[in-house]
Structure 1
Amino acid sequence: MTSVAGAAQTTVWRDRRAVALLMAATLTVMANATISPALPGLQRLFADDPHAAMLTRLLVPAPSLSIALLAPLAGLAVDRLGRRFLLLAGILLFVVSGSAGLYLPDLPTIFLSRIVLGVAVALIMTAQTALIGDYFSGETRTALTGLQISARNFGGLLFILLAGSVAAISPRLAFGVYGLAVLVLPLTWMTIVEPRRTSPKQQSGQETRTGDGAHWRLPFLGLVALQSMTNMFFFIMPTQLPFFLDAQGFHSATLTGMTLGVLMLTGGCLALLYTRIQCAINYAGVFALGYAAMAAGFLLLVLSPPVFLSFAGAASIGAGYALVSPTFVALTLHLAPPHRRGLASGILTASVFIGQFCSPLLSTPAVSGFGYDGLFLGVVVVLTTMATAALSSTVMRSR
Structure 2
Amino acid sequence: MERESGIRPQRRAGAMQGITLAFAGFLPILSILSLAPAVPTLIAHFRDVPNAGLIVPLLVTTPGLMVALLSPIAGFIADRFGRRRPILLATFFYAFAGAAPVVFGDLWAVLVSRVFVGLAETFVLVIVNALFADYYDDRQRRTWITVQGLLGPLLGAASIASAGALAGIQWSYVFLVYLLAAPIFLAMLLCFFEPERTQHGGGTTARAGSAFSWGTAAAYCSVTIFASIIYYVFTVNGGLAFQAIGIASPAKIGAIMGAAGLAVLPGALLFNLLSRRWPGERVIATFLLLLGIGTGGMGLSMNVEMMTVFVFVQQFGAGMTVAGLIFWVSRLLPPQHRGRGFGLWTSAFFAAQFISPAIVGIIGGAAGGILVAFAVLGGLSILMSGVILMLAHRLPPPLAFEHA
Q: Which runs of 5+ in 1 are unaligned?
A: 1-11
Task: Spell out, residue by residue over 1:208-265, the C-alpha distance to the aligned partner (whole angstroms, 9 max, x if none).
Answer: 5436247x4313321112212322332344433456667842244x963x55544543
Task: Spell out, residue by residue over 1:165-187, the C-alpha distance to the aligned partner (whole angstroms, 9 max, x if none).
Answer: 55677776544433323232232
Identify the residue that residue 227 of structure 2 maps to in structure 1: 230
CA RMSD between the two structures? 3.7
Identify the residue that residue 385 of structure 2 maps to in structure 1: 387
Tell me, in whole angstroms, the C-alpha distance in 2 between the residues paired with 1:147 and 1:183.
19
Tell me, in whole angstroms, the C-alpha distance in 2 between the residues paired with 1:111 and 1:312.
39
Tell me, in whole angstroms, the C-alpha distance in 2 between the residues paired with 1:230 and 1:34.
25
Deviation of 1:137 (Å)? 1.0
Identify the residue that residue 124 of structure 1 maps to in structure 2: 124
Task: Spell out, residue by residue over 1:48-72, the C-alpha distance to the aligned partner (whole angstroms, 9 max, x if none).
Answer: 6675565555443321221122211
Identify the residue that residue 352 of structure 2 maps to in structure 1: 355
SS of the equivalent of 2:331 reads: helix
Instruction: Look at both structures and tell me which one has the larger radius of gyration over its CA atoms.
Output: 2
SS of the equivalent of 2:263 reads: helix
Identity of aligned residues (%): 23
Deviation of 1:21 (Å)? 0.8
Single out whichever of 40-49 and 72-81 deviates more from structure 2. 40-49
Amino acid in structure 1 at the alignment position of 2:384? M
* Alignment match of 1:212 (pick from 205, 210, 219): 210
Single out whichever of 285-294 and 35-44 deviates more from structure 2. 35-44
Change (3 A) 1:309 1:60: farther
Identify the residue that residue 5 of structure 1 maps to in structure 2: none
TM-score by structure 1 length? 0.79
Change (3 A) 1:84 1:213: closer
Identify the residue that residue 83 of structure 1 maps to in structure 2: 83
Identify the residue that residue 28 of structure 1 maps to in structure 2: 28
Amino acid in structure 2 at the alignment position of 1:182? A
Change (3 A) 1:383 1:24: same
TM-score by structure 2 length? 0.79
Identify the residue that residue 151 of structure 1 maps to in structure 2: 151
Deviation of 1:367 (Å)? 5.5
Tell me, in whole angstroms, the C-alpha distance in 1 between the residues paired with 2:211 and 2:386.
30
Amino acid in structure 1 at the alignment position of 2:370? Y
Task: Spell out, residue by residue over 1:109-135, the C-alpha distance to the aligned partner (whole angstroms, 9 max, x if none).
Answer: 544433222111111112212211111
Aligned partners of 1:33 and 1:238 also within 8 Å = no
Change (3 A) 1:129 1:301: same
Aligned partners of 2:363 and 2:372 also within 8 Å = yes
Tell me, in whole angstroms, the C-alpha distance in 2 between the residues paired with 1:102 and 1:255.
32
Please say if 1:289 is aligned against 2:262.
no
Aligned partners of 2:129 and 2:342 also within 8 Å = yes
Please say if 1:337 is aligned against 2:334.
yes
Task: Spell out, residue by residue over 1:126-149, the C-alpha distance to the aligned partner (whole angstroms, 9 max, x if none).
Answer: 221221111111322233233333
Deviation of 1:44 (Å)? 5.8
Identify the residue that residue 19 of structure 1 maps to in structure 2: 19
Q: Which runs of 5+ in 2 are unaligned?
A: 1-11, 396-404
Identify the residue that residue 250 of structure 1 maps to in structure 2: 249
Tell me, in whole angstroms, the C-alpha distance in 1 between the residues paired with 2:115 and 2:13.
34
Aligned partners of 1:61 and 1:353 also within 8 Å = no
Single out whichever of 367-376 and 340-349 deviates more from structure 2. 367-376
Amino acid in structure 2 at the alignment position of 1:180? L
Change (3 A) 1:292 1:251: same
Tell me, in whole angstroms, the C-alpha distance in 1 between the residues paired with 2:226 and 2:392.
21
Amino acid in structure 2 at the alignment position of 1:18? G
Deviation of 1:17 (Å)? 1.0
Tell me, in whole angstroms, the C-alpha distance in 1 between the residues paired with 2:364 and 2:40.
16
Identify the residue that residue 266 of structure 1 maps to in structure 2: 263
Deviation of 1:150 (Å)? 2.6
Please say if 1:240 is aligned against 2:202.
no
Aligned partners of 2:297 and 2:375 also within 8 Å = no
Identify the residue that residue 8 of structure 1 maps to in structure 2: none
Amino acid in structure 1 at the alignment position of 2:145? T
1:35-74 residue pairs with structure 2 within 5 A? 35-39=35-39, 42=42, 55-74=55-74
Task: Spell out, residue by residue over 1:302-344, the C-alpha distance to the aligned partner (whole angstroms, 9 max, x if none).
Answer: 4679666665444333321221322322222222111111111
Aligned partners of 1:154 and 1:264 also within 8 Å = no
Identify the residue that residue 95 of structure 1 maps to in structure 2: 95
Q: Which structure's residues are more often helix, by fraction?
A: 1
SS of the equivalent of 1:61 reads: helix
